[in-house]
Structure 1
Amino acid sequence: MNETIIQTHGLLKTFKQANAVDRVDITIKKGEIYGFLGPNGAGKTTTIRMLLGLMKPSGGSIQVFNKDLKNHKIDILRKVGSLVESPSYYEHLSGKENLETLRKLLQVPKERIDHVLSVVRLTKDAHRLVKEYSLGMKQRLGIASALLGDPELLILDEPTNGLDPSGIHEMRELIKSMPETYGITVMISSHLLSEIDQMATQVGIISKGRMIYQDSIEKLRSKARPHIRLRVGNGAVAKSKLLKSGYVVESDDDYIYMEDGRDEYISELVATLVNQRIPVYRIEEQRQSLEDIFLDLTREGSGSHAAHSAS
């Protein structure tokens, strides 16, 4: 059974009578890359600030490493690295000097600096001034800073914001290597499903402050089942003939829809229609993209509460 790293129950944050985070339950297990997804303004950053002890919850509880954050804040945060909003640096210092400043505060061994620079692939740029860094390099330096204290948990808030495609690719590869190579559990927030889809093992979707989906990325993908659409000569007649013959179909004007996409099933169904002298003009496969599912879920928003699973 995987150890639970983050567990929240009924997490609540109220600003001026409005719930920015509305009774959110999060479960993150050791070794997961947990994608925390939602449109801008859904409550992601507020949730992350509460998890990092930067903001006080209005209600509910937060446990990290099976300890209550309220009573064990210092112990817990020692084992957590984070990158929230854009990292701040001393532009006139080199990457390595920036990390040295932070190392003294964290009181970690000097060799950690070279280690984290190699993890984020900045070794050859270690002595360049930060003001000469590209945006992608600055983000990677931000992750190096987050890793300096040798954390067991890394919390990243929109880490690819403003990066170009190659920066996004680098960041993605770096994050994907964390659990396997370094034993670090990662929570990463984003408003882009396509980005989370390529990294996360688990996903939590928040909309208008409420958690509307929490499960594996695989389960989310399985919602994107294809269905077959046929354009026929007479939809109503075709549907009634097919139902009489035992087929499971839906119709809409002159279109027939079915979820069973097996070749033999379709060929038999088409043969049935042709035998009944109903013309079949077109057969096509339609697949709902993950993006569509995400949009549907967030559109339903706080109306539906999705199933929680701790698989």
Structure 2
Amino acid sequence: MITIRSLQKRFQGNDALRGVDLDIPQGKVTAFLGPNGAGKTTTIKCAMNLIDRDSGEVSVMETDARELGPKQWQRIGYVSENRLMPEWMTVPKLLDYVRPMYGEFWDRDFEKKLLAGFELPLKTKLRSLSRGQKMKAALLTALAYRPQLIVLDEPFTGLDPLVRDEFLTGLLELTETEGWTVWISSHDIEEVERFADRVAILNSGRVDLQEDVETLQARFRAIELWFDDTATLPGNLPETWINAQANGRTIRFIDTHHDEARFSGMLVSIFPGHQRYEARRMTLREIFVALARNYRTQPY
């Protein structure tokens, strides 16, 4: 659905994006993660042609992002945390306003289903709605025409836990039944992990990795070693072992390419004095935190 190659963007002489390569495959939910300031929103805005890029190529639904027009936008649903709304309108007036823009694609029955599910007030102007209700209204206007591609930039920001859970549960159900392609940027990694198929992690203006969540979690392990005496870190650790720390009689590190068949032999070679070890599967949040911690020690 989206292909990005060598995307670069500068603001006031500073590199925001330094050669982003990214693929958003059709029919999957891709979580877009990264530390604050990594360039996630800038990447999304370039893909949605909200800001121009300095160089690189961006294709959205087989169209150059700078050429996106009504034909493409009728198949794209976009919601951001800072989306401007006509706050003098009520939700029904908002729907009346946007409905004609999508012509035959707008599904009135689907609109009614979403409106009932989101439990939005019908007589209150948008300016008086809570942040969560405004986000639901924005999502409603982005989904009622059954888009092929949904782009969400920090949709959970400022939502209380109950509203966030309702928002995510509804989106999860719709994504599964509709087979939508979803690209979602979010700091709420635990929430995203519930339904993401793929993950792309941005660091310092470049994509560090992009792969299926299943394969990512299959290769990451949190390792803990126990020793009889005080443990010390050797200087010959493999590059795929990151964030190594010695604490008393234990050593902990993250194995980013775990191979159980080879791992025991490597431990005996590198840590001949260890007594036992544990290799634990990691959540997506734990993997992200481990990588973010490792990024701090790496040069740009």
Answer whether contact 1:19 1:209 (CA < 8 A) is retained: yes
Q: CA deviation at 1:78?
A: 2.7
Match of 1:129 among 121, 124, 127: 124
Match of 2:114 among 95, 119, 123: 119
Counterpart AA for 1:38: G
Structure 1 residue 67 corresponds to structure 2 residue 63: yes
Q: CA deviation at 1:61?
A: 0.6
Structure 1 residue 155 corresponds to structure 2 residue 155: no
Matches within 5 A, 1:66-85: 66-85=62-81
User: 2:5 corresponds to which residue?
Assistant: 9
Tell me whether 202-211 or 89-98 shows the greater mean CA deviation: 89-98
Q: CA deviation at 1:14?
A: 1.4
Q: CA deviation at 1:126?
A: 5.3
User: 1:48 corresponds to which residue?
Assistant: 44
User: 1:93 corresponds to which residue?
Assistant: 89
Q: CA deviation at 1:190?
A: 1.2
Q: CA deviation at 1:160?
A: 0.5
Match of 2:138 among 130, 137, 142: 142
Distance 1:261 1:234, change over 3 A: farther
User: 1:193 corresponds to which residue?
Assistant: 189
Distance 1:117 1:40, change over 3 A: farther
Answer whether contact 1:154 1:184 (CA < 8 A) is retained: yes
Q: CA deviation at 1:256?
A: 7.3
Answer whether contact 2:28 2:198 (CA < 8 A) is retained: yes
Matches within 5 A, 1:244-263: 254-255=249-250
Give the Cα separation in 1 of the matches to 2:251 and 2:85: 60
Give the Cα separation in 2 of the matches to 1:111 and 1:75: 13
Give the Cα separation in 1 of the matches to 2:165 and 2:205: 29
Q: Which runs of 5+ in 2 are unaligned?
A: 233-243
Answer whether contact 2:88 2:125 (CA < 8 A) is retained: yes
Answer whether contact 2:3 2:60 (CA < 8 A) is retained: yes
| Root-mean-square deviation (Å) | 3.6
SS in 2 for 1:196: helix
Give the Cα separation in 1 of the matches to 2:116 and 2:139: 11
- Please give the per-residue CA displacement for 1:139-184, whole angstroms capped at 9, x wherever unaligned: 1111111124432111110000000111111121122233321232
Distance 1:139 1:100, change over 3 A: same
Counterpart AA for 1:182: E
Distance 1:155 1:284, change over 3 A: closer
Distance 1:124 1:219, change over 3 A: closer
Structure 1 residue 176 corresponds to structure 2 residue 172: yes
Q: Which runs of 5+ in 1 are unaligned?
A: 237-249, 270-277, 306-311
- Please give the per-residue CA displacement for 1:87-142, whole angstroms capped at 9, x wherever unaligned: 333444331221111123x0535973452342364475452314453332221111
Counterpart AA for 1:193: I
Q: CA deviation at 1:225?
A: 1.8
TM-score normalised by L of structure 2: 0.76
Match of 2:295 among 295, 301, 304: 301
Q: CA deviation at 1:288?
A: 5.3
Counterpart AA for 2:215: K
The percentage of counterpart residues that share the same residue type is 28
User: 2:20 corresponds to which residue?
Assistant: 24
Structure 1 residue 165 corresponds to structure 2 residue 161: yes
Structure 1 residue 34 corresponds to structure 2 residue 6: no
- Please give the per-residue CA displacement for 1:194-229, whole angstroms capped at 9, x wherever unaligned: 232222111111112111111111223224424353
Q: CA deviation at 1:56?
A: 0.8
Tell me whether 199-208 or 128-137 shows the greater mean CA deviation: 128-137
User: 2:241 corresponds to which residue?
Assistant: none
Tell me whether 170-179 or 136-145 shows the greater mean CA deviation: 170-179
